[in-house]
Amino acid sequence: MKQFDVPPFYRSPLISAIKKKRKEQDKMKKDFSPTLLDFGPVQVLLARHFGFCYGVENAIDIAFRTVEENPGKRIFLLSEMIHNPQVNADLVAHGIRFLQDTHAHQLIPFDSISGDDIVLIPAFGTTLEIESLLRQKGIPTEKYNTTCPFVEKVWNRSEVIAKKEYTIIIHGKPTHEETRATFSHAAAGAPAVVVKDMAEALRLAAYIKGEKNQDDFTREFNGQYTAGFEVSKDLQQIGVVNQTTMLASDTQAIADYLKQVVVSRTGKAESFADTRDTLCYATLDNQTAVQGMLETEADLAIVVGGYNSSNTSHLVELCEEKLPTYYISHAEKIISAEEIQHYNFHTREEVISRDYLPAGKPVKMLITSGASCPDAMVEAVINRVTSFFPGALDAGTLIARFQ
């Protein structure tokens, strides 16, 4: 796989040594058990897969290289490069400015940019409308497009089934940048509708079965379907693709369910398009690694990542099913051995929990991070936690065990 030039301050000597060792021992990635880091009074069980994925490293490489190669030029990002506050802050510190926020609210008017400027397209991709706008301004999009190849794979698969006259069902969060981009690309060739979860898939099924009418659909899926969508004809042949950061098991469950519904309705197996190959390998690996990690007994879990990161929130969701879980953006959120400030993604607010570390020894904690989180941040969390335990080994001592 291609290697990227990622700034060294995102790397971690400890994490790099661990990942290298695990890769040597498990080239086929069949072992999803966690890595035990025994610091003595505290034991950290590190997920088999976590941190920067291929698409994120590609985006970061292009962004920092663009800054280095274009001194004096104005460089913009359409929106957040990835959903990690440190990385986005670093890009701003290097002079990059954001045209939109993560919800597509304009921060800098498009009218203020010209063909002399550089505009980076983030890893999530963008809509066809914005790509067209940039080209009309004479701004090249190819060289500075950091769209993840696995997001583009979803677009390509959508295009293939659209040509066969399938309506595209997108499993994703309607307001997420990637979903908006995928919807735009899908809508260029076929009717499309977004469902955010199984509950919405169940509601969509009522229209496939003919149980509800067009007026109900217009109201119930407002803002989530293409113009001119007709439930009486556009739900006869369907295929399901996904926002690549969703829970893979949820996407598969939605696809399996809608397949059963449409085939039962039409009596034709070909009424449903096979789209299994749109699942992102990194998302799947990270989620499977968390499931493997959860098979080990532990006292708590810490998940590190941006609070608006979809893939990170799903890792939290998996951990919460088994044990107390703390979702933090960086090590400083661990206030002390008694208090931790963490994010409740259900209520979308930060809270402070007390006495989160158990009294018994050794304390066993699971740690993982999202696909947009630098390894250096994970090591900082490990160092912060272990600092509360007198007599704990330091990270440098453990590095030797993985070399």
Q: How many CB atoms lie within 10 A of CB 304?
A: 29
**Strand segments (E) across 294-382:** 300-304, 325-328, 339-344, 349-354, 363-369
Buried b (16+ CB within 10 A) or exposed e, 249-258: ebbeebbebb
| Tokens coding 295 | 């098979």
Query: Is 220 annotated as catalytic?
Result: no
Buried b (16+ CB within 10 A) or exposed e, 311-346: bbbbbbbbbeebeebbbbbbbebbeeeeebebbebe
Q: Please give the Cα distance from 167 to 193 (Å, whole number).
A: 8
Helices 177-187 and 128-136 cross at an angle (nearest 10°) of: 80
- Residue 15 CA to its chain's centroid (Å): 20
Q: Please give the Cα distance from 141 to 154 (Å, whole number).
A: 19
The CA distances from residue 187 to 12, 129, 140, 177, in Å, are 42, 11, 23, 15
State the catalytic residue, choosing from 57, 80, 177, 178.
178
| Tokens coding 167 | 């309506």
Bridge partners, residue 241, by sequence = 170
Q: Please give the Cα distance from 243 to 237 (Å, whole number).
A: 20
Q: Please give the Cα distance from 60 to 83 (Å, whole number).
A: 12
As annotated, the active-site residues are 178
